[in-house]
Structure 1
Amino acid sequence: MKFIIQRDYLVRSVQDVMKAVSSRTTIPILTGIKLVTTNEGVTLTGSDSDVSIESFIPTEEAGDEIVEVKETGSIVLQARFFSEIVKKLPKDTVEIEVQSNLLTIIRSGKAEFNLNGLDAEEYPHLPQIEGNHGFSIPADLLKNMIRQTVFAVSTSETRPILTGVNWKVEDNTLQCIATDSHRLAMRTANIETENGGSYSAVIPGKSLNELSKILDDTTDLVDIVITENQVLFKTKHLLFFSRLLDGNYPDTSRLIPTESKTEIVLATKEFLQSIDRASLLAKEANNNVVKFTTMPEGVVEISSTSPEIGKVNEEIQSKSIDGEELKISFSAKYMMDALKALESSEIRISFTGAMRPFYIKALDDDTVFHLILPVRTY
C-alpha cells in the first residue's frame, strides 16, 4: 500500500474515527485505526465494538486532488501514536507506505516515522446494516436534538436502559426522551420516513455525545437506519454505527402532568442567572438545592441556605403568575441544564403542587419539554 494525501483531510478523518477507539478494549487490534486504500480513496475505521466510525477520503473533491493512490492495500496502525504523528507533521502532504513486513513508513517533508503495523485481515468487520426503518434529518437539527436531551440520561449503571436516549418514530414524528428518574428531557421533530410505521430504539448517551462532536452544523441530511440491535448514522463521507441498549424503556408518558395549579412565565436569562447565583451557596451534600417561592405582585423569591456557609435571597419579577401560591425546592443543576437546553427568551413553568413533578417549556415552542422532580426539604 502506498499513497500521498493532503494532511488536513487525514488529520480530520483520524480525529473523527479516534472518537470510537478505546484504550480499555479487550480486543488488542481495536486500539488501532484501520486504513484501506482503493482506487476511489482511503477509508479509515475506528471501533470499540460498541461504537464504530468509518471515514472516507475520496481521491478528489470539487476537482481538487486529495489522495494520490500509488498502490492499494490495507493496514492497522496504533491509534494513539498515528493520531499524534499526523497532527504534528511539518508539511501539507503526507506519504504513507506499507512494506511487506507490515512496517509502515510515514513521510512528510524531512520527517520520517516508521510504525509497526498489524494485519488488517484480523480487524473485526463492521456490522452489516440491513434495515427497513430509515429516515433522514438535517445535521444541525440532529445535533440540537441530541444537545437538548442527552444531558438528562442517567450516569448510573444500576438501570443501564436509562443511560440511553429513547428514540420513538411514529406518524412521521421523531420523539427523543431521556430521563435519570429525577428529571426528563423530551424533544420532538417532524421527519420524512421511508415507509411509515412506528418503532422505538434506545441509543446510548455516550454514542450520541460522540456523534454530536463529529457532525457539522449544516443542513446536509444525515441518513439514519435502525435495526434490532444497531443504529447507523450516515453522512456524505462518514458512517457512524452504535449498538442499541437492550430492554424496555419505561413508559414516561404517565409522568407528565395533565393539569397545573400554578403557572409562571419568566425571562429565561434572568432566571438562569439568578439560579446560578443561588447555587453558589447551595450545599453540595444537599444536592445543590434552591428554594422557589411565589410572592405578591408577580414576584418570585429564589433562595438557598447552607448552615456552615450562609444564605442567599434574590427576588425577580415574573412576567405573570396564575394560580395558587407556591413554595417548592429543586436541584439548581437540573434547572440550569433545562434552561440552557431551551432556546427561548421566555419560559413557562407549570406546577401541580410542592411535591409533584413540574414541567418547563419555551413560551413559543412546544417541541422541547423538561420535567423535574422537586426535592423534599424540611
Structure 2
Amino acid sequence: MKFVIQRDQLIASVQDVMKAISSRTAIPILTGMKIDVKQHGITLTGSDSDISIESYIPAEEDGIVHVENIEEGSIVLQAKYFPDIVRKLPENTVEIEADSNLKVTIRSGKAEFNLNGQDAEEYPHLPKLQTDSSFKINTDLLKSLIKQTVFAISTMETRPILTGVNLKLENKNLTFTATDSHRLASREIPVTDATIEFQSVVVPGKSLNELNKILDDTEESVEISVTNNQILFRTKHLYFLSRLLDGTYPETSRLIPEQSKTVIHANTKDLLHTVDRASLLAKEERNNVVKLATNNNQFLEITSNSPEIGRVAEEIAVQAIEGEELKISFSSKYMMDALKAIENDEVKIEFTGAMRPFIIRPADGEPILQLILPVRTY
C-alpha cells in the first residue's frame, strides 16, 4: 500500500474521523484509524461502536489532484500518534507506505516516521444502511436544527432517552425535539420531497454535537437514512453513522399550553443581555434564578437577589405587554440558552401563570419553540 497526498487534505479528514475514536473502547483495534487506499481515492474510518465516521478524499476532483502514486491496500494506524505526526510534518505533501509486515513509513521532506500498523482485516465492518428509506435536507439547515435543540437534552444518565434528540418526520414535516424535563426546545421544517415517515427516532445528543462540528456551512445537501437502530448522515465525502437510543420518548406535545394569559413582545438581544446581567449575582443559587415582573404596559423588571451577595434590578422597555400582570421566577441559564437559540430579532413570550411552563417563539411565527418551567421561590 502506498500513496502521496496533500497534507492539508489529510489533516482535515483525520480531524473529522478522530471525533469517532475513543481510547476507552472494549475492542482494541477501534483505538486505531483505518485507511483504505483505492485508485479512485482514500477512505479514512474511525469508530467507537456508538458513532462511526468515514471521510473520503478523491484522488482527483474538479481537475485538482489530491492523491497520486497510488498502490492499493489498507492498514490500521494508531490514532494516538498518527494525527499529531501528520499535523507536524514539514512539507505540503506526505508519502505513506505500508509493507507486507504492516510496517508503515510516513515521509515528508526530510522527516521520516516508522509506525507499526495493524491488519485492516481485523477492523469491524461498518453496517451499510439501505438508503431507499432516506430523505435530504440542506447542510446549513441541519446545523441550525441541531443548534436550536441539542442544548436542551438531559445530561443525567438516570433517564437515558432524554440524553438524545427526538426526530419525527410526518406529513413532509421534520421535527427535532429535546427536553431535560425542565425545559424543551423544538423546531420544525418542511421536507417537501420526503417519501418516508417515522414517528420517533432518538439520536444521542453527543452524536449530533460531533456531526455539527464536522459539517461545513454549505448549501449542499445531507442525505439522512434511518433504520430501527441506526441513523446515517451522508454528504459527498462524509459518512456519519450513529446508533439510536432505545426506549420511548415522552409525549411532549401535552406540555405545551394551549392558551396564554400574558404575552410579551420583546427585542431578543436586549432581553438576553438584561437576563445575563441579572444572572451575575445569581451564580451561588443552584438554579441561577432571576425574577421577571411586568410593570405597566411598557416595562419588565428583571431582578435577582442573593442574600449573601446582593441584589440587582433592571428595567427593560418592551414592544408590548398584553393580558394579566405577572411575576415569575426562572433559571437565567435556561432563558439565555433559549434566547440564543432563536435566530430572530424579536421574540414573543407567552405565559399562563406564575407556576406554569412558558413559551418563547420568534415573533415572525417561524416554527421554533422554547419552553421553560418556572422555579418556585419562597
TM-score category of the 2 structures, normalised to the smaller one: over 0.9
The one-letter amino acid of 2:144's match is N
Q: Structure 1 residue 291 and structure 2 residue 284: aligned?
A: no
Give the corresponding residue for 1:122.
Answer: 122
Q: Structure 1 residue 326 and structure 2 residue 326: aligned?
A: yes
Paired residue secondary structure (1:166): strand
Give the corresponding residue for 1:4.
Answer: 4
- Tell me, in whole angstroms, the C-alpha distance in 1 between the residues paired with 2:54 and 2:312: 51
- Tell me, in whole angstroms, the C-alpha distance in 1 between the residues paired with 2:194 and 2:278: 49
Give the corresponding residue for 2:91.
Answer: 91
Deviation at 1:24, TM superposition (A): 1.0
Paired residue secondary structure (2:335): helix
Give the corresponding residue for 2:32.
Answer: 32
Detail structure 1 runs of 4+ shifted over 4 Å in the superposition: none
Paired residue secondary structure (1:80): coil
Paired residue secondary structure (1:26): coil
Contact 1:166 1:200 (C-alpha < 8 Å) held by counterparts:
yes
> Per-residue displacement from partner, 1:321-366 (whole Å, max 9, x unpaired)?
0111000000000000000000111101000000000000010132
Give the corresponding residue for 1:100.
Answer: 100
The one-letter amino acid of 1:232's match is L
Contact 2:285 2:306 (C-alpha < 8 Å) held by counterparts:
no
Contact 2:290 2:331 (C-alpha < 8 Å) held by counterparts:
yes
Contact 1:135 1:192 (C-alpha < 8 Å) held by counterparts:
no
Q: Structure 1 residue 219 and structure 2 residue 219: aligned?
A: yes
Contact 2:135 2:196 (C-alpha < 8 Å) held by counterparts:
no
> Per-residue displacement from partner, 1:187-233 (whole Å, max 9, x unpaired)?
11011344243432000000000000010101101000000000000
Contact 1:335 1:372 (C-alpha < 8 Å) held by counterparts:
yes
Deviation at 1:296, TM superposition (A): 1.5
CA RMSD of aligned residues (A): 1.0
The one-letter amino acid of 1:18's match is M
Contact 1:134 1:193 (C-alpha < 8 Å) held by counterparts:
no
Gaps of 5+ in 1: none
- Tell me, in whole angstroms, the C-alpha distance in 1 between the residues paired with 2:223 and 2:121: 29
Deviation at 1:299, TM superposition (A): 1.0
Q: Structure 1 residue 281 and structure 2 residue 281: aligned?
A: yes
Deviation at 1:131, TM superposition (A): 4.9
Contact 2:38 2:70 (C-alpha < 8 Å) held by counterparts:
no
The one-letter amino acid of 1:293's match is A
Q: Structure 1 residue 187 and structure 2 residue 187: aligned?
A: yes
- Tell me, in whole angstroms, the C-alpha distance in 1 between the residues paired with 2:9 and 2:168: 36
- Tell me, in whole angstroms, the C-alpha distance in 2 between the residues paired with 1:127 and 1:151: 29
Q: Structure 1 residue 72 and structure 2 residue 94: aligned?
A: no
- Tell me, in whole angstroms, the C-alpha distance in 1 between the residues paired with 2:151 and 2:163: 10
Give the corresponding residue for 1:353.
Answer: 353
Normalised by the length of structure 2, the TM-score is 0.98
Contact 1:32 1:77 (C-alpha < 8 Å) held by counterparts:
yes
Contact 1:37 1:69 (C-alpha < 8 Å) held by counterparts:
no
State, as a whole percentage, how many aligned pairs show the same letter.
64
Normalised by the length of structure 1, the TM-score is 0.98
Contact 1:174 1:189 (C-alpha < 8 Å) held by counterparts:
yes
Gaps of 5+ in 2: none
Contact 1:41 1:69 (C-alpha < 8 Å) held by counterparts:
no
The one-letter amino acid of 2:356's match is R
- Tell me, in whole angstroms, the C-alpha distance in 1 between the residues paired with 2:316 and 2:285: 27
The one-letter amino acid of 2:92's match is D
The 5-angstrom pairing of residues 332-371 of structure 1 reads 332-371=332-371
Give the corresponding residue for 1:153.
Answer: 153
The 5-angstrom pairing of residues 20-59 of structure 1 reads 20-59=20-59
